[in-house]
Amino acid sequence: MVEATLCFLVQGKPISQVLLGWKKRGFGCGKYGGFGGKVEAGETIRQAALREMEEESSVRVVPEHCDYVGRLDFRFPFRPGWSQVVHVFLATRWRGEPRESGEMRPLWFALAQIPYASMWQDSIHWLPPILAGRRLEAVFTFKADNETVDEYEIKDFIG
């Protein structure tokens, strides 16, 4: 399966705001989500997350303030090419201000205002616990429409 990343900039202790991107093209177009993409040959998962964040938002994440918080296995049995393992990071320090790119329009949201209805359906199941400080692993299987979650399992991440 393809390996990919998602990175979210967060503010506050406890977290009170998260930066999401409105996807303008490609996979997930028309939805809000984290910043990320595929891991390229020769780079680590963390390097991929940092590279994608910079490419999509012009922000340089400080590596030692970027925490690995989740592993999400997305299964699309009716479109196997979309199946992927996504590694999730939260970043608390960065350089620069988020700027719109050709792919993403960044917007800050208070936790109570996260637009879950405009995100992938799985997001409501894993993003709130991650933003609340949980580290987790999850598997999501989608129905034939490739939008609706058919079944899922979430457990605490150990490691």
The boundaries of the domain holding residue 84 are 2-156
Strands (E), the chain: 2-11, 17-23, 32-33, 60-61, 66-75, 84-91, 94-95, 104-110, 136-142, 149-156
List pLDDT tens digits, range 14-72: 999 999 999 999 888 999 999 999 999 999 999 999 999 999 999 999 999 999 999 99
Q: Which DSSP symbol is given to 146? A: S
User: What pLDDT score does 27 carry?
Assistant: 86
Nearest to 37 by CA among 48, 23, 22: 48
Place of tokens 């393992």: 85
Which CATH number belongs to the domain containing residue 151 in this structure?
3.90.79.10
| Number of domain units in the chain | 1
List pLDDT tens digits, range 73-116: 999 999 999 999 999 999 999 999 999 999 999 999 999 999 99
pTM: 0.95
Q: Which amino acid is at 8?
A: F
Q: Show Cβ contacts of residue 100 under 8 Å, excluding neighbours closer than 6 positions.
A: 106
